[in-house]
Amino acid sequence: MGVDKNEYPKASKHLVNGSILTYIGGMFLIISFCSPYWVQSFEYTNSEFKHMGLWEYCFENFRYPYDQFNKVFTGCYHVFSEEYFLIREWILPPWLMAVQAFVTMSFLLSFGAQTIMALQLCRWPLDFVLQYEWILSAIDFISCTATTVFMFFAVMVFGCSHTRRDWLMYPNYNYLSWSYGFAVLSFFFHGFAALYLYKEAKLSYELREKSRNLITQMDHQNVQNVHGYY
């Protein structure tokens, strides 16, 4: 008796829920990663500093007091642009570079896991997914867990350090803005996704023998079909 196409095991609810949460967390992560609103100045202060993100700073008629050339900075530029060469050490303290590293690793892990989950949800390629789904699910879980840990360190370090007086001047004029909020939301969504993916990895491991048997039946059926054709 052959294996009907509709008998292939579909993706579990744990994988579906974990994927949805990861995709939502990934959207928050990419917006936070790219947008320059981690810290913003209050509008009524008329501060020379306007807002910043992980990769961009915006100033208006700003003069860095320790710059011997007394250069005026106006506009928004990438942190590694030539415009900010003279003040790069000031705008990129070690703790901020650590936050950049944490968020970048989270970005790579999250979207790498999302690619794997997309293949699992589509069940393509079918034989590969059925045979190695427990390994793929374990990778999903580890990636989302690592993303959660890295995002926790990123939001914790940034949240504790953004008021340092050796960084932006007059920190009481500034506040954590919506890009930082999206990073926090991404942390929570990936954390909840990791719980579902842990259950999925455990379930897939328990069903791995059943999947192997199903693949064997499929291969046997394919051989019979080929012999019947000839």
Residue boundaries of the structural domains of the chain: 11-35+93-173+180-221
What was the pLDDT predicted at 68? 86
Contact 84, 96 (CB under 8 A): no
φ and ψ of 46, to 5 deg: 55, 40
Contact 90, 52 (CB under 8 A): no
What was the pLDDT predicted at 67? 87
In sequence order, the β-bridge partners of residue 123 are: none
Contact 21, 198 (CB under 8 A): no
What was the pLDDT predicted at 225? 55
Q: Distance (Å, rounded) from C-alpha 154 to C-alpha 143?
A: 16
Query: Can you tell me the mean pLDDT for 106-121?
Result: 98
φ and ψ of 162, to 5 deg: -70, -15
pTM: 0.89
What was the pLDDT predicted at 63? 95
Contact 199, 138 (CB under 8 A): no
pLDDT band per the 50, 70, 90 thresholds, residue 136: very high
Q: Where are the beta strands (DSSP E) in 6-143?
A: 39-41, 49-52, 56-63, 72-78
In sequence order, which residues have a C-beta less than 8 Å from that of residue 43 and are 6 or more positions away?
none
What was the pLDDT predicted at 209? 74
Q: Which of 94-103, 104-113, 161-170, 217-226 is predicted least confidently?
A: 217-226
Query: Can you tell me the mean pLDDT for 182-191?
Result: 98
In sequence order, the β-bridge partners of residue 56 are: 78
Query: Can you tell me the mean pLDDT for 78-97?
Result: 96
Q: Distance (Å, rounded) from C-alpha 151 to C-alpha 187?
A: 5
Residue 71 sits at the vertex; the CA angle it makes with 67 and 75, to the nearest 5 degrees, is 120
Mean per-residue pLDDT of the chain: 91
Q: Distance (Å, rounded) from C-alpha 144 to C-alpha 3?
A: 34
